[in-house]
Chain A
């Protein structure tokens, strides 16, 4: 820590003294480099942090610069008034470019944003108001009381302050709640929405952030060069910017800044051999992507890992999974007063012709542990997806404590107290275990991000509270030793436990566990049963899908059996196991089933006519 503060102070001193050692052309290059650094931070926030492929960053840059140019030269605005409006215009552009992100991701988004950037370029080269291919010259000098900004040396300090503030704000965002949600969205948007993150708003936020930095860079550019022309905002420059971000390290804002400044300087240095330089950084991008996808920023980590691996034998105490500390028992709720917590009424779900759920009704009382079993493809996971808001039921109703939640979005359901785990683990792979927990602990609505602009101390206070809670939870689930490791490197059983801890971090009323025992060994299954009971005793109702019948029998008070998308039996575990419908569903209508049926007593809630289970349907479709 001390080292870091010392380093930071040294950096500031160097940055402050830099102009004294530079000639007038060198300072000009440095000024350009700082503008690219701002652009790269915006790009890093959108691409590296939020996972939104944004190839329109040069367009944001251009909008900022052009609006300043147009307003100052055509409309007689002062530089700073024009700048404020330019920032607004850029953010509006960011919102516009971000809209497609609501419908598509990845390469689709890349093409659409690149297409829009091309459209912008096409407009500025042809419109009269932008001066066509000649651009706009004669942008007035920005004025600051007491500082003559016509000197590039003094302009450097203005840029430096903006850049440092921009980087600081960027890092503040990345390391607190908003950034965690953005990164969670990047790693797994589905799981993030199940943890309460409002994905559409977050995607727009990513584009707003990118455009904000792009706009600031554009304003500074207009003030520095005082001339704008289309070639500055070309697609070739977009790709150079991309190269900066990739080479520097897209997931690290500091890396983006290093990449931007480094590449600008190298490009300037090689300006006589610009084609070779282009060849060079193209090759470097390819090599980086294949061999060091985390960029320069990731190199220290790679080295550290290598060193640690070598010295593993002589390492300190081994990290281990500690036992689970049970929750405090809370008094059981009064059934009569509250009614069912989860009430599913005649829900049907169709996937184009395929009926995954057919008229499913079931209700779960508060404080219950309900098991849902059934052959593969019987619609169990589909049912969870309907309850947790990922699918909307084709017909029927889902009610949570009497409130109709059939059409409620996953993030709202999460805030209403529904948490879930996933059949195929969906942990946020590039976040640490602690951050995984922190994402779920954050129960604020996403629109509270206004505080980042208006009241940052509030964010910090919340952050401190969340961190304390996260530590408590990590201790409770025995995960403290792994708090700062990414989950992907941990054994499967531990990852399963992290998923449950993350779901419990949301303090749910209803916990949905999708095959929590899959892949666990006997001892781990025992620990799981202990955990689930304690979770129920703490006042959380649990619904679990499970194939491990031993676990279901010992844990659940009530079991619902699904087959072919229908409820074929419901009752206590012994009742259900003896049900002829269940035996038929699992074993087929064989003689053995006949024998079992004769041996078994008649049961509750069996449908008279039974469809045969079809193993190749709904769950496959859902995947």
Chain B
């Protein structure tokens, strides 16, 4: 029982990070129909940037994080601008284009930070809490809290602000949105940079939990992607649920199958997605004829 709870807590904190990654994916996907394979590598750049500003430039963790988010947001703007000619046209090409950007970002990361990774010490130095015999690291709680704030913030932005509403409109029908005077290009750019910012947030937060190196993106990204699918592509609540689910599944698999955790995670994920391709909150798309 205790062990199960321990696994659950560990899974939830990683899951919160996956949820952030998935949210970025979903936001970009629903607004512009773009599946951003470079998202993972943006998160990796975010992790490196945050750790550099935190460790080397000795900034406070929060400031380092904000700077990292701004930097990756700018990278997001560049990617969006380059791939804009393909938006709403060829889905598969855009997908491959973002993979290309992912390759570029990885190379850039190696050029700047080298191939050896770095361990980031936790910015919260208090001892783990003991809740009914389950050890909870304070940093994990911080991660979950930040993720929760990000979810609420994003939901508020989409529902309550004019720009958010415009983004929703573009998501539903980009042509109609153009017709009512929304600058679709600018709206997409904003969505993309918010998505990149979320990725950086996830990357920065995960830094002290995992080891930061150029392959961090791969691990984080594909699980974030899986989370987005499991929850239902394009759905914000889906991203949260999917992220937590993948996190828990992951930590459970790590506990029980040790070395084979990745294999088990993806087999379970494949089976789940086969049963319900549209995810938990996704809409079933009716085939057109």
Contact = CB atoms under 8 A, between A and B. Distances in A.
B229 interface: yes
A364 B243 CA distance: 54
A46 to B, nearest CB: 12
A118 B111 contact: no
B92 A285 contact: no
Interface stretch (A107-115, A134-142, A336-344, A533-541): A107-115
B266 A119 contact: yes
B139 interface: no
Interface string B45-86: 000000000000000000000000000000000000011011
B217 to A, nearest CB: 10
B100 A285 contact: yes
Interface string A135-178: 00000000000000000000000000000000000000000000
B195 interface: no
A114 to B, nearest CB: 6
B289 A422 contact: yes
B259 A118 contact: no
B83 A111 contact: no
A611 interface: no
A235 interface: yes
A107 B35 contact: yes
Interface string A541-568: 0000000000000000000000000000
A413 to B, nearest CB: 13
A545 to B, nearest CB: 12
A122 B261 contact: yes
Number of chain A interface residues as a range: 35 or more
Given A246-B96, A283-B100, A275 B110 contact: yes
Contacts of A478: none
Contact of A289 (B96, B111, B226): B96
Interface stretch (B101-109, B147-155, B171-179, B183-191): B101-109
Interface in A62-76: none
B86 to A, nearest CB: 7
B222 A115 contact: yes
Given A114-B222, A276-B107, A622 B289 contact: yes
A287 B281 CA distance: 36
Q: Tell me the dominant secondary structure on chain A's binding face.
A: helix
A242 interface: yes
Contacts of B270: 100, 112, 115-116
A243 B37 CA distance: 14
Contacts of B146: none
A385 interface: yes
A10 interface: no
Given A100-B274, A278-B103, A106 B287 contact: no
Given A118-B262, A122-B262, A235-B218, A243 B274 contact: no
Nearest to B114: A275
A123 B99 contact: no
B269 interface: yes
A614 interface: no
B289 A243 contact: no
A242 B86 contact: no
B97 interface: yes
Given A111-B222, A118-B266, A100 B97 contact: no
A289 B93 contact: yes
Contacts of A286: 82-83, 97, 100-101, 104
B95 interface: yes
B95 A110 contact: yes
A321 interface: no
A384 B226 CA distance: 37
A622 B102 CA distance: 37
Contact of A622 (B90, B94, B100, B288): B288
Q: Tell me the dominant secondary structure on chain B's binding face.
A: helix
B30 to A, nearest CB: 13
A190 B285 CA distance: 14
A124 to B, nearest CB: 10
A103 B273 CA distance: 9
B263 A123 contact: yes
B225 A111 contact: yes
B109 to A, nearest CB: 9
B157 interface: no
Interface residues of B, number: 51
A47 to B, nearest CB: 8
A285 B107 CA distance: 14
B262 A243 contact: no
Interface in B198-231: 218, 222, 225-226, 229
Contacts of A116: 266-267, 270
A242 B96 contact: yes
Nearest to A48: B92
Contacts of B90: 293
Nearest to B279: A108
Given A283-B100, A286-B100, A115 B287 contact: no
Contact of A104 (B103, B106, B273): B273
Contacts of A119: 262-267
A51 B104 contact: no
B286 interface: yes
Contacts of B266: 115-116, 118-119
A621 interface: yes
Interface string A468-509: 000000000000000000000000000000000000000000
A383 B240 CA distance: 40
A288 B96 CA distance: 10
A111 B277 CA distance: 12
A2 B108 CA distance: 48
A103 B277 contact: yes
Contact of A242 (B99, B108, B225, B273): B99
Contacts of A121: 262
A13 interface: no
A285 B97 contact: yes
Interface in B118-153: none
A622 B229 CA distance: 24
A309 interface: no
Nearest to B275: A103
Given A275-B107, A385-B289, A422-B289, A282 B100 contact: yes
Given A239-B103, A278-B103, A351 B286 contact: yes
B91 interface: yes
- Max chain A CB contacts within 10 Å: which of B95, B97, B229, B289? B289
Given A112-B273, A119-B263, A243-B103, 6 more contacts: A115-B269, A119-B266, A190-B288, A246-B96, A278-B110, A289-B93
5 contacts: A104-B277, A110-B35, A239-B102, A285-B96, A622-B286
Interface of A: 51, 53, 99-100, 103-104, 106-108, 110-112, 114-116, 118-123, 125-126, 190, 235-236, 239, 242-243, 246, 275-276, 278-279, 281-286, 288-290, 293, 351, 381, 384-385, 388, 390, 422, 621-623
Sorted from nearest, which 5 A-B pairs have the closest CB atoms?
A: A285-B100, A282-B103, A126-B259, A282-B104, A122-B262
